[in-house]
Chains A and B, each alone.
Chain A
Amino acid sequence: MRRYAPVVLLAAAVIAAQLILSFLKLEFLLTQLTMSAYYTLVALGLCLLMGYAGQVSLGHAGFFAIGGYTTAVLSTAGAAALSFAPWLSLPAAVAATAVVALVIGVPVLRLRGHYLAMATLAFGFIVSRVILATAVFGQADGISDVPGIRLFAGLVLSGKRTLRVQNYYIAWALVTLGLLFAVNLIGSRVGRALRAIHGNEEAAAAMGIDVGRFKLAVFVLSAVYAGVGGACLVHFNAGIGPGEAGVMKSVRYLALVAAGGMGSPWGTVAVSAGLTFLSLRGAFGLYDDAVFGALLVGIMLFAPEGLFGLVARGRRT
């Protein structure tokens, strides 16, 4: 049962954080924690792709934006079409992300190394330029006044102050579920296949692993993580702007995964929750992007196994 320790630990930390913050009358911090949960979901998906399938993606902000913009359009301009069940915009957003990932994934994943990195970077660029150029997506203004969404059992996905605690738990429950799914996947046959692919694609293929299909499946899965994060955050923030699709955002997710240790889902969650929260609180001020750039360079130069790998190495010596 050691496998589930991080999941249990995360759930405990989520509950503890809420209790402590409520006790200290610092509940306003839950807002940024909720937002950081949705960004963490993207990082978690990217961690699966990079750490286990060994494929880089510089376009994950694109998937985040596709999820976000789909539900945003469906609940504002296209609200009439879904008036019978507004919540359908969420599954529609996730489906849209998955379909785009599938279509783009088939040719992209045939590439490796620099080619894969550049192709995914170009994909992210295309998404952000299309958003900026298309009237339906609000161009540079983005989409605002996105309503909350009534889920089941009285839960409402919304940024209203009275629903703050509830939304904090919705967001982090999704991350916990995402982590649970990730550790289960990694521990399964599929996970072993993925690690074999990461180690050596030819050898994996020789062992009878359908390399292409596994890579594609993880690519789509990791895009779905990003799409879910994007779709939910739009309703929490009541809007989305083209900045969410920017290349810099994709690079941030990359930095979070690198710092968390590629191939360490719980490390990614821990680092992402912390750093994204600090960034959203404005702790890095004008140097926000620079911090993430420095993090990327520093981690890759001195600790390619991630921050926690560095700690573990320090303990060994």
Chain B
Amino acid sequence: MSRKIVVPFGPQHPVLPEPIHLDLMLEDERVVEAIPSIGYIHRGLELLVAKREYPEYVYIAERTCGICSFIHGMTYCQGIEQIMDVDVPPRALYLRTIWSEYSRLHSHLLWLGLFADAMGFENLFMNAWRLREQVLDVLEETTGGRVIQGSCKIGGVRRDIPQENLAGMAADLSPFEHELGELGTVFLKDDSVNSRLVGVGHLSRDDAYTLGAMGPVARGSGVAIDIRKTGYAAYRDLRFEPATETAGDCYARCAVRVKELFSSVDLIRQAIDRMPEGEIEVKVKGNPEGEYFSRAEQPRGELVHYVKGDGSKHLVRSRIRTPTLTNIPPLVKMLQGCELADVPIIVLSIDPCIGCMER
């Protein structure tokens, strides 16, 4: 019989780009229990609604997270637009969809790189990030920003993408997809990757459902939840199926994200093909009065922006719930009974975005 010891993990840890703290209760090398503590990057930006007018708050909403910033801004705008009954022009909805999918591509490539880094596979890390730069180039050309885009506004979008640029983007997708294929093959077929991932950090379908897992964590365990299927922005016109796996281990979560890379490329292609002509914004007058839960699919899962206005320039309340927060209870479950050496891999497999989570 061995005695229990507690090993602190984080907030500063070589494998984590962001601070989260876990107290790992160990018996020999096995984790018996993991106790998370958060709050290292809490800023309290929800209360800024009292100090910023509602159209300005888009900038704050975007800066909730630097990885899925566009989707945060868009979800907030959607909420206000629903309260105020704003009819967003279809072209703006399609542009939002395209930028959302490029954000997803850059986020997933970033995560695949960090995941490879956690496995100690340096070459794969560099390759994933090399591909990611191509996505960032497109985002920079079309919006002006690499990671914080600032192109979404209430009533539409700030910038249009000219038709000839759209054609260029569509043409670039094929060679890009080919490179993604090569990268994905290494993640899914390579022996050394498989031996680190298969069977590690298992989460059953029931646990995923009852503990409120979202996004690729839920889909890796066979729960086909994808908020894009609710048909916000232009998703109602586009064909896609949520990528799912049934194994529920780190490999399955990795495979879901690799599949989503290709579905994102396909969605961008469809959106460019069907891009309607017309305006990109409508003028918004007055102030929001009412409340709305706005939902969207982030690269990590379901994002909820709750907004409530009382007819003044300032909102009464904004509440942001991000997928990483709901993925923490499943993470604690996954860590029970794993080896200490697998902890970094399992923590990264939920794609923790602490900046989002703590707001």
Q: Do A and B come from one complex?
A: no
